[in-house]
Amino acid sequence: GPPCPTDRLVLQVPARALLEGDTVTLRCRVRMDTTVTGIRFYHEEKDLGRLHHGTELSLSLLQLHHRGHYRCGGWVISLVSRWREKSAPVTLTVRSECGDGHG
C-alpha cells in the first residue's frame, strides 16, 4: 500500500465547491502519537491570530479574498525538546456566485 504520511500536522479542508457567503471549517489534525500545543492557522503565511477555537478555524460569509493557501502550525512537544512545525499548505477555492453567466 501507499506509505503512511509522516506529517505530524495535517490541515483538513472540506472537498466541496465553496461559494461566496458559505461557511467553512478547517480542521488541524494532529497525529495520534504527537503532542502539539499553541495551534495557529495561517493564510498565505500570515498568522490569523485568535480567529480559531482549538484545532478548528471557522470562516463564515466567505469572500473571494479568503481564497489561497492555508496552513496550521504549532509547537510539537517531545520528551527532550519542542519545536515549531507547520502543515503542508492546502488551497481553499471560493467561487463567485455571479461568475457563471446565468444572471
The domain spans of the chain are 9-93
User: pLDDT tens for residues 38-96?
Assistant: 999 999 999 998 778 889 999 999 999 999 999 999 999 999 999 999 999 999 999 99
Superfamily of domain 9-93: Immunoglobulins (2.60.40.10)
In this model, does residue 101 exceed pLDDT 70?
no
Phi-psi region of 88 (alpha: psi -120 to 50; beta: other; left: phi over 0): beta
Q: Is the model's pTM score more than 0.75? A: yes
